[in-house]
């Protein structure tokens, strides 16, 4: 049975990969992509679909209640990726994160609530493991489960935790068919170059050093974006309303280990590491227990194994230098802004 999806933030890293994934695996579905084209939203990621009858792009703000209501009225389900997502930027200014992540989510939820049959619109809210806070380095046995308390450490993760709680409340209070997913750190194609893997690769291509926070011992659980997209699609189709599902790959690496792996793949040595002062409130370890997703949905990551997945990702950025150079220069933003504002 075909569906009509509204995808928010579909021009971002994970959102654009999800559009590609759905078009590949559910080719009869209709997709409407709502994106405001903020600094990290890049329509070039979806250039293949510009003349695709199954894909429609709408430039707009998820806080625009009238627009959101109109688009939701036309769709069967919403997959909500749109978010401000960079921790360092949230530390510098939390305002945009509160607006997009909290008020934007509320606007979407209220639009569904206002429908004649709100329970008929499935809402998948894509969140992050950062809402749980961090885990100690000396307890490798501990992992975040869906029952772990929310204890966010940064303005970014606090805004995502707030939006998670809104989704939960709108399900319990108003009966919305809403589900939350919480993923670990994503990597893969089309990631904005401020994030660590594309930042390090592009710096090395340009013969610039890579900045390593603090002692480099902070641990993250890495998942390839295609594994994440597959999990979100399965949750959309088979997840239980009102539930949260952790999406991870059991692939923990320290930042120092990641740095050395990228240096090795790029044929460089540790002289290219530039130690920098640690981030404020830097969480020490994230680790996801994905047992619930496997037990209830039969999903397990299959594309995130290292070194192969990291090698393929590094190769993608080396092979797509024109893409990330345009992103870094802001040229794509000027071009697409002119295109869409002239329509």
Residues annotated as catalytic (active site), given as ranges: 129-130, 156
- Three-state secondary structure call for residue 104: helix
147 burial via Cβ count (<10 Å: 0-12, 13-18, 19+): exposed
Residues whose CB falls within 8 Å of the CB of residue 150, separated by 6 or more in sequence, listed in order? 131, 132, 133, 161, 164, 165
Q: What is the dihedral of CA 12, 209, 130, 69, to 10 degrees?
A: -20
> What H or E segment, with its residue span, contains residue 206?
none
Q: Are 274 and 212 in contact (CB under 8 A)?
A: yes
Residue listed under structure tokens 């994160």:
97
The answer to whether the bond into 307 is cis (omega within 30° of 0) is yes
What are the structure tokens assigned to 308, written together? Answer: 């192969």
What are the structure tokens assigned to 53, written together? Answer: 């009858």
Alpha helices in 130-181 (DSSP H): 155-174
CA-CA distance, 10 to 27, in Å (whole number)?
A: 17
DSSP bridge pairs for 177: 122
Q: What are phi and psi of 314, to 5 degrees?
A: -60, -40
- Identify the CA nearest to 68 among candidates 40, 98, 105: 105
CA-CA distance, 233 to 248, in Å (whole number)?
A: 15
Residues whose CB falls within 8 Å of the CB of residue 125, separated by 6 or more in sequence, listed in order? 80, 105, 163, 164, 167, 178, 179, 180, 181
């Amino acid at each position: 049975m075909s569906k009509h999806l509204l995808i928010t933030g579909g021009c971002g890293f994970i959102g654009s990969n999800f559009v590609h994934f759905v078009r590949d695996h559910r080719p009869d579905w209709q997709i409407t992509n709502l994106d405001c084209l903020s600094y990290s939203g890049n329509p070039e990621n979806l250039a293949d679909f510009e003349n695709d009858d199954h894909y429609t792009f709408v430039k707009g703000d998820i806080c625009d209640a009238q627009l959101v209501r109109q688009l939701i009225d036309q769709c069967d389900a919403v997959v909500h990726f749109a978010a401000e997502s960079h921790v360092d930027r949230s530390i510098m200014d939390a305002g945009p994160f509160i607006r997009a992540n909290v008020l934007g989510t509320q606007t979407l939820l209220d639009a569904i609530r206002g429908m004649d049959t709100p329970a008929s619109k499935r809402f998948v809210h894509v969140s992050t493991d950062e809402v749980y806070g961090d885990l100690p380095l000396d307890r490798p046995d501990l992992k975040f489960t869906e029952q772990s308390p929310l204890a966010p450490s940064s303005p970014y993760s606090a805004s995502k935790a707030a939006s998670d709680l809104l989704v939960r409340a709108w399900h319990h209070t108003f009966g919305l068919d809403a589900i939350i997913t919480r993923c670990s750190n994503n990597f893969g194609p089309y990631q904005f170059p401020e994030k660590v893997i594309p930042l390090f690769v592009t710096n090395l291509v340009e013969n610039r050093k890579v900045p390593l926070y603090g002692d480099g011992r902070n641990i993250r659980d890495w998942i390839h974006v295609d594994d994440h997209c597959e999990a979100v699609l399965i949750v959309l189709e088979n997840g239980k309303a009102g539930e949260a599902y952790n999406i991870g790959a059991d692939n923990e690496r320290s930042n120092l280990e990641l740095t050395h792996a990228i240096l090795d793949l790029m044929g460089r040595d540790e002289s290219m590491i530039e130690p920098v002062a640690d981030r404020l409130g830097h969480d020490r370890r994230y680790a996801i227990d994905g047992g619930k997703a496997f037990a209830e949905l039969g999903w397990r990551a299959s594309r995130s194994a290292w070194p192969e997945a990291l090698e393929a990702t590094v190769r993608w950025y080396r092979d797509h230098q024109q893409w990330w150079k345009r992103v870094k220069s802001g040229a794509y933003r000027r071009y697409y802004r002119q295109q869409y504002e002239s329509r």
